[in-house]
Amino acid sequence: MPLWRIYAHPDTFTYDQRKGIAEAITKQYAMLPAFYVNVIFVDVKEEGLWVGGETKKNFVRLTVEQIARQMPNPDTEAGRKQRTAWMDKMNETLRPYILQRPEIEWEIHIAETPRDLWRIQGIDPPPSNSEEEKAWKENNKARSYL
């Protein structure tokens, strides 16, 4: 599961922009069952968001937890390249909604959670790229497989 939390002032994104962001993010995880991808918009009023000790109405903070897949070790050249490429891909995904809006200040980070600490509907997800995971993707829902 990638879990995206997008913290922003309630006026920062319209419904259509939120829908566009959620759809664009989901497309980036096309190899996964779509229901793995969660995007939660957390509305934060100006007095609830502080950066550098000052309130910010124009700040967007994105926190991402990736669980279904792990990226290669950053201590290897291949790992560094893949991680940089993924972050660049996230920039492109967010470009029309955030990067192309000069009034927005923003920050993103991605954390990787161990897969063994994740369940859906109380079920351990099937192994990556397994036939059962393919079935979950096709049906777009979890089902018992043990």
pLDDT band at 145 (very low <50, low <70, confident <90, very high): confident
pLDDT at position 146 over 90: no
Kindly state which CATH superfamily the domain 2-139 is placed in.
Macrophage Migration Inhibitory Factor (3.30.429.10)
Provide the pLDDT for residue 41: 99
Q: Give yes or no for a contact between 97 and 21, defined as CB atoms under 8 angstroms apart.
A: yes
Residue 10 predicted with pLDDT over 80: yes
Read off the pLDDT of residues 52-67 as tens digits, 9 standing for 90 and up.
Answer: 999 999 999 999 999 9
Domain boundaries, the chain: 2-139
Does this model's pTM top 0.85? My answer is yes
pLDDT over 90, % of the chain = 98
- Give the pLDDT of residue 73: 94
Condensed to tens digits (0 to 9), the pLDDT of residues 102-125 reads: 999 999 999 999 999 999 999 999
